[in-house]
Amino acid sequence: MSNTKSTTETVHRVSFLDKDSLSIPILKILQADGTTFEEAVLPVIDQALAEKIHDTCVFTRVLDERMLGAQRQGRISFYMTCTGEEASVVGSVAALDDEDVILAQYREHAALRYRGFTTEQFMNQMFSNEKDLGKGRQMPIHYGCSALHYQTISSPLATQIPQATGVGYSLKMQGKRNVAICYFGEGAASEGDFHAGLNMAAVLKSPTIFFCRNNGYAISTPTSEQFAGNGIASRGVGYGMHTIRVDGNDMLAVLAATQQARAYALEHNAPVLIEAMTYRLGAHSSSDDPSGYRSKEEEAKWQQHDPVQRFKLWMINKGWLAESDDSALYEKYRQEVLASVKVAEKLPVVTIDELITDVYDTPTPRLEQQLKNLKQHIKKYPESYPNSAGRV
């Protein structure tokens, strides 16, 4: 037994363990009607924090609705919504310090908004215009913002997981009182990077919160075809990590779990895994149609568990929100998003000369040559490059 750290009971008959040997409870604080469970221990929250959380959720709903519409109108090329998962994302980011580093997957723009990313900044990224912080080098919704400690999204799944282990470790080495948080889907947890990242974090004691949004699907693949074990939480325990499963549509449960996860990570210089059970209410992306792989009844069932509505009812119960405040807020953001789209889509795109800056300190001769070839190509076929032809 020298390769196990825990004490192991000895038995004398064959006895196997299975996925249910480990019983994992789910933390729930808020009920569907906006009241809390009698015995529930609430997170630390005051009216100002509740209002900021609610404001972020409303903005995200509006942004998602309008920008999916903008994609359908051909104004942007691609979009992904957070709809249905707002409590998982906002409840967790609200438990953090503003200098904790966020490594997101792609469906967590609500966390960026919570940190202060402006409507204009969202639009500049989605329209890849000259004001985009990423200089138009990424698909829409692949945000990044160093000022807000939000690392740039990368499309290949799970690359952020071992990176987050390293970020948490470096924060520890620098003696900072900060953690890293790594968001990922349950589908991404099938990648090798997940296993390497979590094992390294546990062994090297990296203060990183691994936050899994278990939303039921990886595009069209349901969780039942993704893994056979007891969700993602069982794996955290397997790696020797502090682990919790929460109702991901319960803002107060997510907030409470993440507040305590952060405190634990800092106190013990150790990682924590949170598995938030939620549901992707929308399509995977603007390129997907879920009617081919799931039923309207299933979607309707989950509509009943709307996390934004549940938290709103709690605020109304507390006397912190009036129904009319809510509708005015939706209207304010609809106008703001619409006005911002109109400005951002008219700004020029980034010039092609910017393409090879920031790769090396000074561009290499090979890159210079490639840029020259590209410019010649665009000049030769201007009709294929309507946005760039006049700018080379």
Ligand X SMILES: Cc1ncc(C[n+]2csc(CCOP(=O)(O)OP(=O)(O)O)c2C)c(N)n1
Q: Which of residues 216-245 bind ligand X (CB under 6 A)?
A: 217-219
* Distance in Å from the first CA to the final CA of the chain: 68
Q: Which is nearer to ligand X, 131 or 305 (CB)?
A: 305
- Establish if 292 lies at the interface with ligand X (CB under 6 A): no
Fill in the per-residue mask, 178 to 217: x = in contact with Mg ion (CB under 5 A), - = not in contact. Answer: -------xxx---------------------------x--
User: Given candidates 115, 142, 262, 280, which one binds ligand X under the rule CB under 6 A?
Assistant: 280
Fill in the per-residue mask, 185 to 214: x = in contact with ligand X (CB under 6 A), - = not in contact. Answer: xxxx------------------------x-
- Establish if 248 lies at the interface with Mg ion (CB under 5 A): no
- Taking CB within 5 to 8 Å according to partner kind, which of Mg ion, ligand X, none is near residue 310? none
Q: Which is nearer to ligand X, 29 or 218 (CB)?
A: 218
- 8 A C-beta contact, residue 111 and residue 102: yes
Distance, CA of 71 to chain centre: 20
Measure the CA–CA gap between 262 and 179, rounded to whole angstroms: 7
| Pair of tokens at residue 287 | 């390129």
Q: Is 293 a catalytic residue?
A: yes
Q: Is 264 a catalytic residue?
A: no
- Establish if 64 lies at the interface with ligand X (CB under 6 A): no
Measure the CA–CA gap between 243 and 201, rounded to whole angstroms: 13
Q: Which residues pair with 26 in a beta bridge?
A: 245
Fill in the per-residue mask, 214 to 233: x = in contact with Mg ion (CB under 5 A), - = not in contact. Answer: -x--x---------------
Q: How far is the CB of 127 from ligand X (least distance, A)?
A: 22
Strand 150-151 relative to strand 180-185: parallel, antiparallel, unpaired? unpaired
User: Given candidates 119, 215, 249, 340, which one binds ligand X under the rule CB under 6 A?
Assistant: 215
Measure the CA–CA gap between 215 and 292, rounded to whole angstroms: 18
Measure the CA–CA gap between 75 and 140, rounded to whole angstroms: 11
- Establish if 287 lies at the interface with ligand X (CB under 6 A): no
Q: Is 333 a catalytic residue?
A: no
Q: DSSP secondary structure string, 291-339?
A: GGTS-HHHHHHHHTT-HHHHHHHHHHHHTS--HHHHHHHHHHHHHHHHH
Q: Which residue out of 115, 262, 284, 310 is catalytically annotated?
A: 284
Q: Which is nearer to Mg ion, 96 or 212 (CB)?
A: 212
- Please report the sign of the dihedral spanned by the C-alpha atoms of residue 307, residue 308, residue 309, residue 310: positive
What is the Rg, in whole angstroms, of the alpha carbon atoms belonging to the chain?
23
Residues that bind ligand X (CB under 6 A): 107, 155-157, 185-188, 213, 215, 217-219, 280, 284
Residues that bind Mg ion (CB under 5 A): 185-187, 215, 218
Q: Catalytic residue positions?
A: 280, 284, 293
